[in-house]
Structure 1
Amino acid sequence: MSPFSFTTVIVALVVSTYGNDCTKYNLTPSDQSLIDMMKHYLHTSRKADCPETHSHQDIGVTYVRWGKKTCPEKSDIVYTGQVGGNYYGNKGGGSNYLCLPSDPENGEAYSYANDELYGAEYEIDSKTKTSGLPTSLYDKEVPCSVCRRKGKVSVLMIPGRKSCYNGWHSEYNGFLMSEHKTYNNKDFICMDGHAKPFDSRSSGENGALLYPVRAKCGSLRCPPYKDNTEVLCTVCTK
């Protein structure tokens, strides 16, 4: 029986039970039972048509905090790990940096010569250091953490600023970094201004490399930008 037919039958039964003057009719227990059954049916038949609502606690956004194994205050850690990416000299393959978890589920041995996934290293020395990152990071592997901020619906990395616009909250700020301009392209990422090494090892094995980015005037309008300056950044949520 279709939902329409079933509802029609229940309505007909209720009307025939009440008679023509419902306001003066005293409901018997069986009448009330019939009405309750009709309410239950209408509720369950309409439930699938109603959009599911989520509590405020279910809403959230995720972002990567580059250079840190921890998440900012009020954000939860999804996982922590090591920054990886394609080898700096490879002509093909991925061009983005990855936050690789510290507890991978590894696949089977594979002999095909397409090794593209390497660890990332800081390339920060006396020539390349910014005002906030120490040269002791040189050739160290880079940590990262994937963070979730509850109650937010948007996340945005803003290059060129260390503070967020009105209405947005800064999760962290730092320096814009990427691959060296003479190597193959990588994404720009916002490295935490208080970045740390993954551990104490310093091997200089290369792989995916990270250099601070410098602004260059010309097609980039100066002002408001300034020539040969480090580029700040911040990750904002709302």
Structure 2
Amino acid sequence: MGLAAPASAADLAARPYTKAPPPMVAPIYDWSGVYIGINGGGGSAHKCWDAVNLGGAVVAPPVPMGCHNATGGTVGGQIGYRWQTANWVFGVEAQGNWADFKGSNANLAFDGVQDETKIDAFGLFTGQVGYAWNNVLLYVKGGAAVVRDKYRVFDFATGSTLNDGRETRWGGTVGAGLEFGFAPNWSVGVEYDHLFMGHRDVDFFSTGIVGGPAGTFAGSARIGQDVDIGLVRLNYRWGGPLVAKY
């Protein structure tokens, strides 16, 4: 029986080359960039009225006419810019909303009439400071607020408007929010804002039913106002959504 010749190096199959696996990459959410979005929710404005002038005669001290809450829904939009440093996120934002916050109370000083308030729009201009846990952002905000108010005094029995007034009022706001990035450039969140609108003297004018011809000065009320708003927000952001971390 013959012996087999020993195998040479040339007869051995080449050992396949195996590339080392790439290092693990952990995507880190980046909140930096310009964003635009929509929001919706509800709010309540607490209003207290005091009579300070009646037909040109100053009322001293002011006579309380009662308080009420003007409540309802709101929808609007926001645009802003954020930049992130480590886990800290800073930003600026402008927001504008249509609103339908409405309420009334029986006038405590004059029988048979109701005082009514309606907020039909508001805006917020704020700065933000937040802390991010990857795609979760918790932030606080503060700045200026503006609301557009309409007021009327109406006959309780007939619903007829006796006199009315309106104003655009500026004040301040603080708030807080929690936002979740559910896609590279999309985020959804909830936010609470409190508006400090102070006290203002508002002039009222007759509609012509009582107190002289329509447009006649009827008096002034000192009206205090604070507003609480809760919103759900959806944002789309332009910018680098993810940063690779090895």
Shorter chain as denominator, the TM-score bin is: under 0.3
Normalised by the size of structure 2, how large is the TM-score? 0.21
In our comparison, the structure showing a higher alpha carbon Rg is 2
Normalised by the size of structure 1, how large is the TM-score? 0.21
